[in-house]
Amino acid sequence: MSHKVMVIVLDGASFIFCNHFLWFMNNVKYIFHNFHRKMLYIDDNPVTPTILNNFFTGKYSREHGVKGFRTMDKPWSLIGEYKGEYIWDLARRLGYTVKVLNVPVKVPVVNINVHLHGANWIDLWLPRKDHFREDVERLHNIAVYNASQDWDLFIVWYPIPDQAHHYFFPTLHDFNALKTAFYWYDLAFKYARHLIEIAKPKYWIILSDHGFTSDFEHIVIDKYKQPVHCRDGLAVSNSPFLPDSTIYVHYWILYHLHYMK
């Protein structure tokens, strides 16, 4: 069975938070201590659809055109849409077997060659607050099923820890909030670790697109003032070669897929 390159995006996973508090999160500690890690500075608008387009096109927002959410009240409405080739298009053109699960570079999210087992894609992308644990567990089970099939490139996006951050620990104002953050962060890394261990890809990378919501920075898009996030993304991999910027994720994938035999 061919399992070449696995890319796992843990939305909103702060490198600084992980690095400082890994002693309280067993799965974070395991991954950080046993593999190669670095802070990935987010060098474009630090919002999810913009940075994911950077990752998977190898272009900045001034080139791919995806600027962010049109409004936070309607997160399914994005500003801009990229019409060109993504890394999964290139990989398929080169003859590789590709699976892409729940990747919000556009709306609806990108799902390629995966079985959702009847799940509503909206609930996998934007899990409901009152069913959050249930919805992310369902997404993980779907990821495990699809990762157990044959593929050369597998890409999956998880809405944790960021969505849990917005729901359950918007600030770290007391120890209970901190413990809540530990729980959701470690669950995200538990899912990533499990996926890697069951699939055993030749190369894998865990990425994030930003850190916590910034309490001082805003961005104006379409005359709408939106909060953005701290710029401390992360990259952790079993490869010693890690991307230096958001656009180099595209080249990291291509290099490990096509050139690292």
Residue 137 lies in a domain: yes
Full domain range(s) for residue 182: 5-234+244-259
* Whether pLDDT at 156 is above 60: yes
Q: What is the tens place of the pLDDT at every residue in 25-54?
A: 999 999 999 999 999 999 999 999 999 999
Which residue is listed with tokens 């992310």? Answer: 136
* Whether pLDDT at 222 is above 80: no
Q: Any idea what the CATH number is for the domain that residue 60 is in?
A: 3.40.720.10
pLDDT for res 215: 79
**pLDDT bracket for residue 220 (50, 70, 90):** confident
The runs of H, that is alpha helices, within 10-72 are 15-21, 26-34, 48-57, 61-64
Residue 239 lies in a domain: no
Q: Which residue in 179, 192, 187, 145 sits closest to 163, CA to CA?
A: 187
Residue 251 lies in a domain: yes
CB 110 within 8 A of CB 78: no
Give the pTM.
0.96
CA distance 158 to 8: 8
103: helix, strand or coil:
strand
CA distance 74 to 72: 5
Q: What is the tens place of the pLDDT at every residue in 120-140?
A: 999 999 999 999 999 999 999
**In the chain, how many domains are there?**
1
Residue 199 lies in a domain: yes
Residue 130 lies in a domain: yes
Supply φ then ψ for residue 53, to 5 degrees. Answer: -65, -35
- The pLDDT of 156-163, averaged and rounded, is 97
pLDDT for res 72: 59
